[in-house]
Structure 1
């Protein structure tokens, strides 16, 4: 399915993952997909949501109010500092070799208990459903590609995740937003 995603839609997924990491969440939910959409203010979907009065900063604050963040581990940094180890320097070197957020991931193990590397943050069932519904929305609009707006339509159609709740709590009329997105999307050019 991801081969049908446009660059902007793929970026939504990457930014959703980045938002989950920066908030130190162990999942990618509909709320992270919404943050990924809003982090690209020049896209159709972000412009429409912004026009209704919700931006990335406000949505991120709403996510933190509901889910919080995991502690950063300052006590560990202080303990290491007391024995002469600069955690920031260690983190910088590890991330230079293994990539950003490498120390934030919990090690994964296979069925035999062996360490497995390279696994990302898992999508929640609602986030997976949102992406499936994005495909259905693209097909319904006779679009050859799945665009960022289709992801937002999928999020609205799923309707029960935290992403949709944040939109509704911001006073956005979801049926109106849906009509506006569909009008903007139309079929992709051939």
Structure 2
């Protein structure tokens, strides 16, 4: 399926993993895909959301409010423990990555969802993110696109009904159906310049 992804859509998938790591969440969810989409503000799909008032920073704050920090950083900070300072001290004594979780040596799988090997383990994709990626393919087929672009990823995120990504959009006061229509208009051949 990933061979159909545009370079920009692949970057969103990688960016979603980085967003999950940055928030110290143990999985990649629809909320991380949404954040990665918004991290590319020049993309037509991101332009739709930004034009409706939802930018990366607002979405990130909403994700943190919705799901909290991925670890106990906030609680520890409230009692005066700075995790970044602790990490820096440990890494200066024991080397970079000393506190990183060990690489999973479980069954080796090929593709984007694999873990193990000599590379650091990727954040695992949660069911919602997997469903959004699958739905992005369906959206691409429905719209008769020859590839899966960032807009299709956003449409997939919006179709995961119980996903945090959809909730962030709705909680921001946006109508998901209106967002879908605007993204579909951008994806249509007669829509504005496509940069996916």
What is the TM-score of this pair, normalised by structure 2? Answer: 0.78
Tell me how far apart the structure 2 counterparts of residues 80 and 53 of structure 1 sit (CA, whole Å): 36
Correspondent of 2:147 among 145, 148, 151: 145
Tell me how far apart the structure 2 counterparts of residues 80 and 12 of structure 1 sit (CA, whole Å): 28
1:28 aligns with 2:28: yes
Tell me how far apart the structure 1 counterparts of residues 103 and 67 of structure 2 sit (CA, whole Å): 23
The Cα RMSD (Å) is: 2.7
Tell me how far apart the structure 2 counterparts of residues 57 and 104 of structure 1 sit (CA, whole Å): 26
Q: 1:76 to 1:182 in 2, by over 3 A?
A: closer
Contact 2:132 2:160 in 1 (8 A): yes
Q: 1:104 to 1:135 in 2, by over 3 A?
A: same
Match of 2:179 in 1: 177
Q: 1:109 to 1:7 in 2, by over 3 A?
A: same
User: Could you list the runs of 5+ residues in structure 2 that have no partner in the other structure?
Assistant: 108-115
Tell me how far apart the structure 2 counterparts of residues 77 and 157 of structure 1 sit (CA, whole Å): 36
1:105 aligns with 2:101: yes
Contact 1:77 1:87 in 2 (8 A): no
Contact 1:44 1:184 in 2 (8 A): yes
Q: 1:75-154 to 2 correspondence within 5 Å? A: 86-89=89-92, 94=96, 103-110=99-106, 116-117=116-117, 118=119, 119-154=121-156
Tell me how far apart the structure 1 counterparts of residues 174 and 86 of structure 2 sit (CA, whole Å): 47
What is the TM-score of this pair, normalised by structure 1? Answer: 0.81
User: Could you list the runs of 5+ residues in structure 1 that have no partner in the other structure?
Assistant: 96-101
- Rg (Cα) greater in structure: 1
Tell me how far apart the structure 2 counterparts of residues 80 and 158 of structure 1 sit (CA, whole Å): 36
Tell me how far apart the structure 2 counterparts of residues 62 and 22 of structure 1 sit (CA, whole Å): 15
Tell me how far apart the structure 2 counterparts of residues 49 and 185 of structure 1 sit (CA, whole Å): 14
Match of 1:53 in 2: 53
Residue 110 (structure 1) shift = 2.5
1:11 aligns with 2:11: yes
Count residues in correspondence: 174
Q: 1:51 to 1:108 in 2, by over 3 A?
A: same
